[in-house]
Structure 1
Amino acid sequence: MDSKEEKKLAAEFEWLKKISEVSETPEAPPKEFKKILEEMERRCIRPKIRNELKNYHCGDD
């Protein structure tokens, strides 16, 4: 990567950083997260983070 590309990426990063500091994340509608988890369970989809936490804790023994 040349210095021109690095400067462009640095400028983009700074812009994104400024935007993220002032923007607010809207809250999800009530009970939406629970509905999503129930649908994932119905489809036998296991959230990846659960597997990662399980592996993390299994290594603590």
Structure 2
Amino acid sequence: MEALMISVEETAGTLGVSTKTVRRMISRGVLEARRIGPRLLRVPVAGLAQTGRQVGNWSPSS
């Protein structure tokens, strides 16, 4: 079974941050991401809860 994956833009909207912030979080290892093809990034929804902290309007408990 494949994990549910969302785009960088959808992740930014969910977390209430910019796409640049999401990309920085990915590069720092705060968020997990998978590269699909040469340019496309997808973030597993389960990875959002693994951040363990509130970011913007989203928290792991919501």
Q: Which has the higher contact order (CA 8 A, sep 6+)?
A: 2
Bigger strand share? 2
TM-score range, shorter chain: under 0.3
Bigger helix share? 1
Instruction: Give the TM-score, by structure 1 length.
Output: 0.25
